[in-house]
Amino acid sequence: MSNSVNELAAKAQIDFHCLEADCAEVIKFNLADIVSKDFQAVCPKCHKAYQLDASLRDKLSRMLDLIQSIRKAEDILGDAMVSVNVAGGDVRIPYALLLTRLNTLITLDFGDRKVDFHLWIEPSSQDTFR
């Protein structure tokens, strides 16, 4: 696959809570690293290793593709807005603002459990959050 952090021009980190009952530490890794078949996410506290199956790696890989597509469309997203109808009219929210202010998470099956994966993307510009 040609997915890479260099193509994304940003860091895309993903994390989830350790599934061990007495741990629940946050396990973080670079989203681009999951394409490797031998990738394992390791808990920094209890050292439990998590092997991602092909289906989970595929879904996270497609999430990386989505992020890359959004990054490629940044120039048109500056002109795009989400409109919310409210009493008396509508409120227009710049799409780029939504991308920088909303928390992104994806809930996926991880073994026999549903797990929330939180996604953190470094902005392409230092001015994005200002």
The half-sphere exposure of 102 on its side-chain side, counting CA atoms within 13 A, is: 10
User: Is there a domain that residue 80 lies in?
Assistant: yes
pLDDT, position 56: 86
pLDDT, position 18: 95
User: Is there a domain that residue 35 lies in?
Assistant: yes
User: Is there a domain that residue 130 lies in?
Assistant: no
The first and second tokens of residue 85, run together, are: 């109808």
The first and second tokens of residue 110, run together, are: 């991880």
| Each residue's pLDDT expressed in tens, for the chain with a length of 130 residues | 444 444 545 568 889 999 998 998 999 998 888 878 889 999 999 999 998 888 888 888 898 888 888 878 878 877 888 899 999 999 998 887 777 666 788 898 887 889 999 888 765 554 443 3
Considering its fold, how many domains does the chain have in total? 1
Written as one letter, the residue type at 81 is M
Q: Can you list the alpha helix ranges (DSSP code H) found in the chain?
A: 5-8, 54-72, 74-77, 95-101
User: Is there a domain that residue 127 lies in?
Assistant: no
- Supply the range of the domain harboring residue 81: 5-121
| 14 CB neighbour count, 10 Å cutoff | 24
pLDDT, position 87: 94
User: Is there a domain that residue 89 lies in?
Assistant: yes
- Check if the beta carbon of residue 31 is closer than 8 Å to that of residue 11: no
pLDDT, position 3: 45
Give counts: helices (H), strands (E), the chain.
4, 8
Q: Is the pTM of this model over 0.75?
A: no
